[in-house]
A and B are shown apart, each in its own frame.
Chain A
Amino acid sequence: MKNHAQLSQEFNANEPRVNWHDETLWWVRQKRDKAANTLPEWEQLREAASSIKYHTLSNLNDYLQQFEANAEQNGVTVHWAADAKEHNEIVHRILAAEGVNRIVKSKSMLTEECHLNPYLAEKGIDVIDTDLGERIVQLADEPPSHIVLPCIHKKKEEIGELFHEHLGTAKGEADPQVLTAAARVHLREKFLTRRAAITGVNFAIAETGEFVVCTNEGNADMGAHLADVHIACMGIEKLIPQRRHLSIYLRLLARSATGQPVTTYSSHFRRPRAGQQMHIVLVDNGRSTQLGREEFRNSLKCIRCGACMNTCPVYRRSGGHSYHTAIAGPIGAILAPNLDMKQYADLPFASTLCGSCSNVCPVKIDIHDQLYKWRQVLMKDGQGGAAKGLSMKAMNFTLSSPGVYRTAGKAGRWFLRNVPFVVNNPLNPWYKQRDMPEAPKQSFGEWYQQNRKK
Chain B
Amino acid sequence: MGGRPTADDLQSPPPNLPHRGGGARLSWLGPGSWALYALGLSPGVWTFYLGLNDQLGADPLKVLERTLGLWALRFLVIGLAVTPLRKIGGPNLIRYRRTFGLLAFFYALFHVVVYVVLDQGLDVSAIVADIVKRPYITIGMVAFLILVPLAVTSNATMIRRLGGHAWQRLHRWVYLAAAAGALHFIMLLKTVTFEAAFYAAAVALLLAFRLVGRRPFNPLRR
- A interacts with B: no
